[in-house]
Amino acid sequence: MPREVRERQMLDAAVVGFAKNGYQSASMDDIAEQAGVSKPLVYLYLKSKEDLFTACIRRERAALVEAVRGGTSERHTSADQQLWRGLCAFFAHTRAHPDGWSVLHRADTQGEPFAREVAGMRAEITELVRLLLSRAALDAGCEGEFAEREVSGLAHAMVGAAESLAVWANARTDDAPSAKETAATLMNFCWTGLEQMIKGARWSPHR
């Protein structure tokens, strides 16, 4: 069997094992058995448990970012429609690959170098969102200061909310929302508020 096929089998089994048990508790014996290979072969191909976990994170990270980029790739449409499609792609992917999403979500708490890999993924997606929000603000005639100063913070907040919603949606069983329903929840929460900010409306604690 070609090496790349063997490695894919190992990574598939490892993602399931890490998602179910976490990094510390996942067993290399169980992962090898699930992949249908010997444990020495896993170590031969992927060196160590740390390297195996890193490889899983990188594969799942690349797949998720590619899905979001694909959702926002239509250039001849409005910024809100691009953002909507990107969110739908994000939630569809995390729903279709719950183990992969669990690995990425859990990796954030496992320290370096795993958290750094997830931070890189988050930075890529946040930059996509920032560009779309900036474009929406500029198209509406907002001052450059707003586009530069506030849009960056809003992009980080939106990505954080999306990650939290993905965890929430995947945890539901009986009444699990669809990807579009979850995306609509976030668009209603964030985009409606952004539209008001673009128009100059601001909340103040002293009103």
Q: Give the helix ranges, DSSP H, for the chain.
A: 3-25, 28-35, 39-46, 49-71, 79-96, 98-107, 114-139, 144-171, 179-198
- Whether the bond between 113 and the residue before it is cis, its omega within 30 degrees of 0, is yes
- The answer to whether 179 and 88 are in contact (CB under 8 A) is yes
Please name each of the domains of the chain with its CATH number: 1-47 (1.10.10.60), 60-198 (1.10.357.10)
What does the pLDDT look like over 24-69, one tens digit per residue? 899 999 999 998 889 998 888 888 999 999 999 999 999 999 999 9
Residue at 191: amino acid letter: W
- Beta-carbon count within 10 A of 205 CB: 4
* The model's pTM: 0.87
204 pLDDT more than 90: no
* Inter-CA distances, 79 with 2, 46, 119, 138, 155, Å: 44, 42, 25, 11, 13
What is the separation, in whole angstroms, between the first and last Cα of the chain?
69
Backbone angles phi, psi at 193, to 5 degrees: -65, -40
Judge residue 84's burial from the number of C-beta atoms within 10 Å of its C-beta, 0-12 exposed, 13-18 middle, 19 or more buried: buried
| Residue 153 CB neighbour total at 10 angstroms | 11
Phi and psi dihedrals of 76, rounded to 5? -95, 50
- pLDDT of 98 > 90? The answer is yes
> Other C-beta atoms within 10 Å of 172: how many?
10
Report pLDDT for 136.
Answer: 79
* Cα–Cα dist 116/107, whole Å: 9
Residue with tokens 């094992």: 17
Two tokens, residue 58: 């990188």
pLDDT at 125 over 90: yes
Torsion of CA 38, 43, 45, 50, to 10 degrees: 130
In the predicted model, what is the mean pLDDT of the chain? 87
% of the chain surpassing 70 pLDDT: 89
